[in-house]
């Protein structure tokens, strides 16, 4: 791993008997985009507050950009930019004025403040709205302005709390591309807190799964998926030549199979059709029509038994393949077990 710009050591925060953060150990490398995932109340915000020196830990330490956040909070704040999920601006002032004001608060000279603000507004796609009052901005425009506001002091680390909340799909794609571009081209370290798994999977180098104040899993999506594979869990996709009426029930009866779902064909996906359980549900289909199934397994090595069951049903097996785990599968598996597999 490259040089750690964030190093949390046995970081803990207790409120009476409640352990908001419990002995957290985490390193984030310089230039990395790290995704912190977890349900509300998991301790993510408390962790951020300790990293910024806004609340003192009960035990442990948070080193950010080489400074102890508890002992030297001002030094940390100079080097870290933080964008909460609902950033505040002066509504009756323009986007340009808001950025210049933030720059001046951070000790930037008047000329440099104006130059930086104009450059950042171009960078985030708000050049044409620079002189508009922020009160007229859409949610997506406000998030773009928030990112510019975070960057105005040229931080080494950027912490973003639900940055895409309330933005339309096109705006989400553009904002994520901008965050990724900033990290890759300027070496910014980004800590991204989000509930949107697909978005995190798109841009994050590594992810951490946080629950009840503890980091229960951490790594690349590929590494976490391998851990699930090693535990014996698997998803197997089947493509059959026909529609045996009892195939769902037959596969579900195999020891180690936890669920069987029908996958829609492309024509059904285009028309908005949804997946249907095959076991116990009677569906009329034309002869010769193919069937796609997803079989979820909690035991290793079930592919031969699944193939044999399909053969015994009297239909041809056209394809059998193991499906790679995505972040949503990893998230669901870890959080359903809470302590990991």
Give phi and psi for 64, each to the nearest 5: -130, 120
Fold agreement between 4-219 and 226-337: no
pLDDT value of position 283: 35
Cα 45 to Cα 36, 51, 54, 222, 282, distances in angstroms = 10, 10, 11, 26, 48
pLDDT value of position 272: 39
Query: pLDDT > 90: what percent of the chain?
Result: 51
Pick the CATH number of 226-337 from 3.30.70.1340, 3.20.20.70, 3.40.50.1400, 3.40.50.20: 3.30.70.1340
The average pLDDT across 268-281 equals: 38
Mean predicted lDDT score pLDDT of the chain:
85
Q: Taking the domains of the chain in order of start, what are their residue ranges?
A: 4-219, 226-337
> Cα–Cα–Cα angle for 7, 13, 19, nearest 5°?
125
DSSP 138-171: -HHHHHHHHHHHHHTT--SEEEEESTTTT--HHH
Query: What is the Cα–Cα distance from 208 to 216, expressed in whole angstroms?
Result: 8
Residue 280 has pLDDT above 80, yes or no: no
pLDDT digits (tens, 9 = 90+) for 3-29: 899 999 999 999 999 999 999 999 999
Query: What is the Cα–Cα distance from 302 to 234, expressed in whole angstroms?
Result: 9
Indicate the pLDDT class of residue 265, thresholds 50, 70 and 90.
low
The average pLDDT across 316-334 equals: 79
Q: Are 156 and 79 in contact (CB under 8 A)?
A: yes
CATH architecture of 4-219: 3-Layer(aba) Sandwich (3.40)
Where helices occur in the chain by DSSP H, the ranges are: 44-51, 73-79, 95-105, 110-123, 139-151, 169-186, 197-203, 221-230, 247-252, 266-271, 303-312, 327-337
Q: Which of 17-31, 79-93, 142-156, 169-183 has the lowest mean pLDDT?
A: 169-183
Q: Are 87 and 165 in contact (CB under 8 A)?
A: no
Q: Are 220 and 194 in contact (CB under 8 A)?
A: no
């Amino acid at each position: 791993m490259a040089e750690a710009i964030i190093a949390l050591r046995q970081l803990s925060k207790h409120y009476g008997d409640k352990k908001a953060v419990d002995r957290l150990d985490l390193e984030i490398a310089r230039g990395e985009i790290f995704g912190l995932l977890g349900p509300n109340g998991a301790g993510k915000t408390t962790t951020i507050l300790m990293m910024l020196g806004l609340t003192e830990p009960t035990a442990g330490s948070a080193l950010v950009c080489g400074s102890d956040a508890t002992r030297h909070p001002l030094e940390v704040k100079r080097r870290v930019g933080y964008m909460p999920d609902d950033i505040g601006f002066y509504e009756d002032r323009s986007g340009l004025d808001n950025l210049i004001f933030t720059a001046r608060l951070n000790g930037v000279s008047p000329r440099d403040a104006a130059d930086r603000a104009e450059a950042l507004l171009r960078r985030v796609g708000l050049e044409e709205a620079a002189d508009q009052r922020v009160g007229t901005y859409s949610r997506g425009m406000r998030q773009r302005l928030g990112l510019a506001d975070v960057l105005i002091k040229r931080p080494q680390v950027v912490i973003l709390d639900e940055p895409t909340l309330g933005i339309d799909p096109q705006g989400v794609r553009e904002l994520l591309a901008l965050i990724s571009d900033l990290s890759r081209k300027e070496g910014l370290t980004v800590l991204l807190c989000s509930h949107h798994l697909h978005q995190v999977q798109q841009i994050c180098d590594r992810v951490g799964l946080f629950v009840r104040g503890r980091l229960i899993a951490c790594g690349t999506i590929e590494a976490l998926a391998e851990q699930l594979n090693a535990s014996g869990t698997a998803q197997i996709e089947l493509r059959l030549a026909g529609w045996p009426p009892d195939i769902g029930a037959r596969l579900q009866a195999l020891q180690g199979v936890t669920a069987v779902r029908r996958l829609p064909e492309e024509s059904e996906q285009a028309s908005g059709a949804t997946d249907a359980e095959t076991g116990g549900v009677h569906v009329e289909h034309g002869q010769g029509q193919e069937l796609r199934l997803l079989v979820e397994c909690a035991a290793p090595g079930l592919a031969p038994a699944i193939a044999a069951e399909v053969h015994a049903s009297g239909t041809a097996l056209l394809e059998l393949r193991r499906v790679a785990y995505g972040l949503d599968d990893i998230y669901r598996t870890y959080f359903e077990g809470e302590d990991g597999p």
